[in-house]
Amino acid sequence: MKFKGTAGMMTIFLGLVVYYFFVDLPTEKKKVKEKEIAGKVLYFKIADIEEFSLIKNEETITLQQTKDSTWRISQPLKAAGDNPETESFLSEIENLEKFRVVEKNPKDLTQYGLQNPTFKIHLKFKEGREKTLIFGHDSPMGGKIYLKFKNEPKVLLAATSKTRFDKSVYDFRDKTIFNFSSGAINQIQIKREKHPLNLTQEKGEWWVSGDIKAKADKDEVSAFIQAIQFSRIKEFESENPDSLKLYGLDKPITTLILKNENKENYSIALGNKKVGSGTFAKKEDAPGVFLVDTKFYDTLKKKDIDFLNKTLIEFEEKNVAEINLHTGEETIQAVRLEKDDWEIKKPKETRADAATIRSLLFDLKEAKLTEFVQLSSLDSSDSFGLDKAQHTFSLTMINGKLIKIRFGKSTLDGEKVFAQRNGETTVFLLSKKTVQKLFRSFHELRDKKLFKFKTDDVNKIVIETQKTRFEVLKSGTNWSLLKPVEMEIKEFLAKDLLWTMKGMEFESFAETDILPESAGLTTPTYKISVWKNSTDKIAELQVGNIEKNGQQYFAQIEGKNGYYRIKKKYLDPIPLNLNRFKVQ
């Protein structure tokens, strides 16, 4: 019985659901739609319109919707329509809402400005019906206007004004100069008497050719193409002029030609200026003359030098195989062994400091030119000190490609340096600060770390002064002092000592068999050594006197000829008396 009751309730519930979805909901939707239609001046969808006309005084502007839902002007001339502007205009009509019905059967339309109207919109729908909306006076209360439909008596009041519908042929006309895909353009040419421009895309890279042969800045080229793509006609001057001479277009001052990957051309010629309006222009494939604004005109004034790549060198750090720096004093050659492992081959074979190499390559990627120097027939590399450049910087990539820069003279103020890339005729300027960042010295680039060992391999540290020997021993993970007395030591002291030694760098190195007496290394002030076990010494540093400047110590590594200068900051953490070991 209980089951039968539950089944009955389920049947009733399902019946209610079915009733709601198939009866209540459609009824509710119908009421909403009816309310929406009732509130509109004219209910329609833009897609349903075949043609519309805006009639103002004696002028009629007619547009027709094509099969592909675009618009074309058919009267007073034949031309492509401005689709967004047209859709916006029709949306204004579509969204017109009735404020109220003023009179159902007025005897006198004059008072509403509807007797002899000068402003009408005629709509022709695809299914055959037609509607003419007549605009009268603005309401005395403001913000509203009197309306009526042709052949319908009632006068309506709507919250709008004629100014929202008062459009010209120019408003409805397509003002696009060119319709192309910016990514497909691969050649740009500007013809003019002085400074002609040629830009060509090769294998994804843009190049300036002509008087200057150099790599172009792709962002500058992209910005130029987009500026042309989104430019609009400012004013239509003449649809089919008898002569182009009046406009200076029989012999254009400037001609822009764009070509795409399909060999299609987009060409526009610029002629004389029209005072206070713009510059006369004409497309190659159309007879009409129109005006372009100052912004478009200025865009075409750009010269090849404006497009040159201002990045000093473009490269991927991981692809660099070799670095060469040459000055009048030294030549440095650094070679990548693997990933972050570099070795200096010249002027002396030694390990390179990976962090400094990374810093150098980062500065190189960030380096920007300050300005270009355009070479004329009178210019020569010699006038910039580049024919016999004393400073050169080059990268050799893993694919064998060589990127080389020559550096010449400084400018008169000494703030900039003339430079030139290999394979290019262009001379440019770099700030002196940028050049100084690139030309690191051998000492800066070499690995200056004194010791290389694994801290986990060390289980004993010995510090010997001229009076005392300190031995620190590791047991498990703990460290303790065994000599001169047995005791606990400060937590992390041993680890800090090992990190100090691993991070220790020398300031300079003198390779010699004879140590200067002033160094105090014949009888060192103290020694510090690390051991793997009681008999296997890993490394030892012998520290002598401090220099007169009080900033550097003389030091020596056991078993290596020569001596180092080490900054005081690296050696100050080393404990040389018992109190430094004690737990406080």
In a domain, 271, yes or no: yes
Q: Are 520 and 569 in the same domain?
A: yes
Q: Are 394 and 335 in the same domain?
A: yes
Cα angle at 56 between 54 and 58, to 5 degrees? 115
In a domain, 504, yes or no: yes
Q: How many residues does the chain have?
A: 584
Rounded Cα gap, residues 187 and 195, in angstroms: 17
pLDDT at residue 209, as a whole number: 84
Q: What is the pLDDT of residues 518-570, one digit of tens each?
A: 999 999 999 999 999 878 999 999 999 999 888 999 999 998 889 999 999 99
Q: Are 508 and 564 in the same domain?
A: yes
Spatial neighbors of 383 by CB under 8 A, at least 6 apart, are: none
Structure tokens at 493: 């002291």
Among 16-25, 215-224, 260-269, whose mean pLDDT is lowest? 16-25
Rounded Cα gap, residues 510 and 58, in angstroms: 100
Instruction: Find, among 49, 54, 78, the residue nearest to 66 by Cα.
Output: 49
Q: What is the DSSP letter of 392?
A: E
pLDDT at residue 26, as a whole number: 59
Instruction: Find, among 499, 520, 504, the residue nearest to 567 by Cα.
Output: 504
Residues 132-159, mean pLDDT to the nearest whole number: 90
Q: Does the bond joining 484 to the residue before it have cis omega, within 30 degrees of 0?
A: yes
Spatial neighbors of 344 by CB under 8 A, at least 6 apart, are: 332, 333, 334, 335, 350, 351, 352, 442, 445, 446
Residue 241 has pLDDT above 60, yes or no: yes
Structure tokens at 92: 């204004």
In a domain, 106, yes or no: yes
**Amino acid at residue number 102:** V
Q: Are 264 and 355 in the same domain?
A: no
Rounded Cα gap, residues 579 and 572, in angstroms: 15
Quote the number of domains for the chain: 5
Q: Are 129 and 198 in the same domain?
A: no
Rounded Cα gap, residues 247 and 270, in angstroms: 9
Exposure letters 225-249 (e unless 16+ CB within 10 A, then b): beebbebebbebbbeebeebeebbb
Domain-terminating residue out of 149, 172, 195: 172
502: phi then psi, degrees, rounded to nearest 5: -65, -35
Q: Are 434 and 473 in the same domain?
A: no
Q: Are 466 and 440 in the same domain?
A: no
**Amino acid at residue number 268:** I
pLDDT at residue 15, as a whole number: 65
Rounded Cα gap, residues 488 and 220, in angstroms: 68
pLDDT at residue 237, as a whole number: 95
Q: What is the mean pLDDT of the chain?
A: 89
Residue 378 has pLDDT above 50, yes or no: no
Q: Which domain holds residue 255?
A: 182-307
For residue 206, count other CB atoms closer than 10 A to its CB: 21
Instruction: Find, among 279, 99, 304, the residue nearest to 195 by Cα.
Output: 304
